Structure formats: structure tokens, C-alpha cells
Chains A and B, each alone.
Chain A
Amino acid sequence: MLPFSSYEFFIIMAIFIALIAACKSFVADKNYKYVLLFFNALFLVTIYPKPIHFFLLIAYSYFFTWLISDVLKVKKKIIGILVLLLPMLLVKFDIRFDFYPFEMNNLLSFAGLSYASFRIVGYYMDKSPNDRMADIPTYFNFLSFTPTLLIGPIDKYARFRASQNTGFSNINEGNFIAGWNALVKGIIFKYAAAELISRYWLNVFDPSSREALHMLNNMYAYYIYLFFDFAGYSWMALGIGKMMGMQVPVNFTNPFLAVNPQDFWRRFHISLGDWLKEYFFTPLYMFFTRKKGLKKYPLTRQNISLLLTFTLMGCWNGFKLNYILSGFLFGLYSAVHNTYVAECKKKGRDVLFGNMNPKAVKFISIFIMFNLVAVAMYIFSGRCPLV
């Protein structure tokens, strides 16, 4: 059984929450991480479909992070990244070593691999060779925390550890109510809104239809469905996490009201946007800055970095045309917006809207952004008959 896949999962989580809360009365605060470790491991062992796979990934990542960072002290981070991402890359590239009945991908592929890989890389990037390796229980909890195991958000190790350190004190009435509200919000998003959209809107027209109106309908339906489905998961994870004493970062805040691409990634799958910015865009931008030929062109450096960052985001979903193209489109939106902002700064005025009423500008911006994102998401969905 996967997290959030059926109502039994919620029953089990309710039991876990009650038991963790009960532990607060007789377990010392500093031992919260062991309590969490017990419940995360219990979930993996008894409920998760491929527990050994997950345990092996944790062991693999811990060992190689230690080897590359502490023993070999490899300076080029890219080598470590490639080693740590290797299991995910083999799956995403669909590299198969079939010696029937063994299939490489069957051994490597399991639910939650992508999110775990992103957390692993995040930890490795943040860790300098002088830092001590993470303690094993915290590292295990960081990668296997049940509510965020399957679909994020992509947490950062330092933030997770800080939250874990105050785990028992976070279990209080205020957090329970906040968690409950987030959980209910998630349930309504995922099991009511997304479900209704999926049943009564998303499939009204044949996805392969090339009629303009059908395609428009499918485009908007998918974007709105995706938001409710994905945000629903995130709110449920946040809610259950809070009730267990952990602060899970907010992953969605009204993305339909985004006025530009930058604003959109501060509202939609925030943890992914932050991850990409911190661990890919910034190092890439710094890399281009060191290149002689690009030194004089900061805007070009930014735009190339943006395009590559978002194309990578597309690749993360899978090496398929629809994913890569949608990532590239998001990169293009960001690069165009970046150029527009730079032009406005250079000329000291809004080069597109001039002196138009700010409220009208905001409304138009929201409208444009909503439609641009809907187009990119439609391509991402694989349901667009033109791609």
C-alpha cells in the first residue's frame, strides 16, 4: 500500500499519530528521532511495497556521500551528484539490463525514488567536507518520513533536522488543529475537487481530439485537475506531518494568482522551484560567470541558466518529448520575463504596459500567466494531440 492510496492508510496514520503523541509522556524529547525512526521503519517494513529497495537506497546514498565527500573529498560536486542520482537516472533513461527473469529497472524502480533522490542530492550539496556526516537515524527519517515519502515536498536536511529536534514540543493543540485543517484541505482538494474534475470535466472530450474547443477544454481541465491533485497530496502530507510533530514545508499557495513565472514558482511546487534554484540554477550561473566569453553578458548567462534549469526539471519527470518540451517552455517563459524585467530596469519604465493602471496590469498578468502555464501543463500531461 502506498501513502494516500486508500482510506486504510489514514487509519494507520491515525494510529501512528496517537502512538507518537502517547510517547511524548514517557520518552525524552531528545529521543523523538528514535520514535520517528521506529514508525518510519515500521511503515516501510509492513506497508510499503518494496521496503528492501528503499533501505538499500538509503544505505547506498549514505555510503557514497560519506565516501565522496569525507574520504575522497572530491571537489567537483557533479561527480557526486551523478553517483547519487545513478539509480534514478537508470530508471529515467529506461536503461535496461535484461537477463530474464531479472530486469534492471524492476530492481531499481520503486515509488518515491525521485523524491528521495532529490533529497539525497540536496543533502550532499549542502554538506561541506568539514561537516560531520548526518547521524543515521535523522538521515533515515529525512529520506523515509512517511507523509512525504511518495510525493514530497522536497525538504532540506537542515530544516528537517531542526524540526525533528523540537518534535515532541511541536505536538500540541495548536499544531494538531493546524495539521487537521491542512489534512482536511488536502482531502477536499484531492478526493473531492480533483476527483470531480477527473470524472466530470477532464474526460468530457476525447484527449486525442484536435478540435480547438476540445483541446482548450482539456488544457484548462488538466491544469486545474493537476493543481488540486498535487496540492491535495502536499496539504495532506503537511497536515499529517504537523500532527506527528514535524513541520513539513508548504508547497502550494494560490498558483492561479501568479503574475509572472518567478512568482509562479514561488506558489506552485515551491520545494521543487527552490531546489532547482539552489542546486542547479545558482551553480550553473556561477559556472557561466567564470567563462570568459560570457562574463560581459549577465542577462545571457541568466537566461541560458534558466532554460537549462527548467529543461532539467522536464527531464526529471522522464526523458520523453512532452516532459522535456514543457520544461523548456517554462524555461522560455522565465527567460522572456527575465529579459522584460531587465529591459524595464534599463529604461526605467514598464516597456510593455507603460503607465497602465497597476490593477489592470496585475489582472492581465494573471490572465497571461494562467494561460501560459496551462499550455505548458497540457504539453506536460502527454494528452496534447499535437505533441
Chain B
Amino acid sequence: MNKITESLLRVVSGFGGTFKGAYNVREDGECAGRQSSENIKIESKKEGPGLVIHVRPGTKGETVYIPACVTHGGVDDLVYNDFYIGEDADVLVVAGCGVHNDESTEARHNGIHRFFLEKGARVLYREKHIGTGTGKGAKRIDPVTDITMAENSYLEMDTVQISGVDSTMRRTTATLAAGARLVVRERLMTTGTEWARSDFDVTLEGEDSGVDLISRSVARGRSRQEFNSCLRGKNRCSGHSECDAILAESGSVVASPSLEAAHVDAALIHEAAIGKIAGEQILKLRTLGLTREEAEERIIQGFLK
């Protein structure tokens, strides 16, 4: 892999020169390194670009790294990765993406990840996105995550995009069987003229299934964000979504949450708040000796932590 990829990997997947466990590194649409483990098999898809990852039932405490990097303009990378998580497995999936562009043509990564969790499986899914480079060409990342969860499975999705991505369209869908639980934590910051859209569509099919979706975002400069969520309760279930956004300078955010309940015991809640940093928060930190600018940075840093 090239130096740019190494640098991006350090940010998006905690790369320290090597990965411990199963991994596949994708660089500019090509495989730059792969390793399976005894319990986690990574294979190329036969019908198109992408991977099939099988986690053996009962696998505990292992990590699989599936990062992807685009290192120059003129690349439009599309990849389909399918994760099959065996019954009662408990694993960490790290799937960051970095796009670097020093050129005038667009650089894009579009990763379509499908998760199939068997009964009792547990996954912590970490997804970190970043854009770097000084070229005029746009840096785009358009992730799609489709999640199918069997009975009593659990998936926690920790997704972060902090800087440098000019345009992103993030789409997550999930269907939950009985007793399954999905937790999503999204943190997003846009600056300059960046644009970001997040769509979440979660269907709570099974009895006692549950979802907790929390999105925190900061829109700075003249950047724009859109947040759309739909929780569909089709059984006795619980769903909570929360969209908190901070506006700075001339940033703008549109939040469109929706709830659909088709069962009398579907308990669905949505909370949304959009606004500038509260003046009293800045004031409190200034009474501790921080300047206004330091206080604002600290508040945003904590908000997106």
C-alpha cells in the first residue's frame, strides 16, 4: 500500500503498521492486503467487486478490519461487502474509509455493507470517514449499511465523519427480529461548503426488539446537512431517535424524523434539537478561563466525542 493509504488507515482504523486478526485493505479499488483468521474468513465476491466475510458461530473477541482508501482523483470506487455473523459470535468490525485528493477530478468511495446477524450474535461496528488533500476535485464518501438482525442479536454502530469530505450520502437500513437490539451513534461535522445527508430507516419487526439512534452533528461555515430517520414499529417494541445539531457561522441543518407505529405496544420516541451553541455554555467555560473561541472548540469537541 502507498504512503497516503497508510496515513489514512492510521486515522480511520487505528493502523499501526499491521493489523491483528482478519483484515482486507482496499486501495483505489484494488486489494492491497488480506488475511483471514481461523474463525473469520474473507473471500472475494464472485459476481462483482467486494467481499464476503464469514464469522464462525461462537467466535468471541476477534476483530475484522475492512478499511478502504482512495488516494487520488479520478477514482470512483464501488464495493459490496457482505458480513455473515454466526450464531452467538461477538466481534468488532472496523470499516473506516479515507479519501485523499490533490487533483481536480473527483475522488469517491461508495461502500455498500450488508450485515446478516444470526441468533444471539453481537457486533460492534466502527466506521470512521475522513477526507484529506488540497485538490479542487471533490472528495465523496457514500456509505450504505443494510442490517438484518435475527432473534436476540445486537449491533452497535459507531459512525464518525469529522472533516474533509465534500459530499456524503449516508444510508442505513435495518430490520430487527424478536429481541434484537440496534444502537447507532452518529457524529458528523461539516465545514466550508460541504454537504452531508444521513438517512436511517429501521423496521422493528419482532416482539421486544429495540433501537436507539443518536445523531450529533455540527454544521460550520456554509455547510449543509440533512437528517432523515424513520422508525417503524410493527410489534411490541421500543424505538428512540435523537438528532442534535449545532450550527456555527452560516451552517444549516434540516431534520426530518418520522415514526410509524403499527402495533398498540410500539413505543417510539423522537427528539430533535438544532441551534447554535448555548451562550450559557460558552459563558460557563469562560468563567473557567477559556476564551470564547477555546470554549466553542471545547464544546464542539465534547459534543462530537
Are A and B part of the same complex? Answer: no
B interface with A by C-beta (< 8 Å) = none
A interface with B by C-beta (< 8 Å) = none
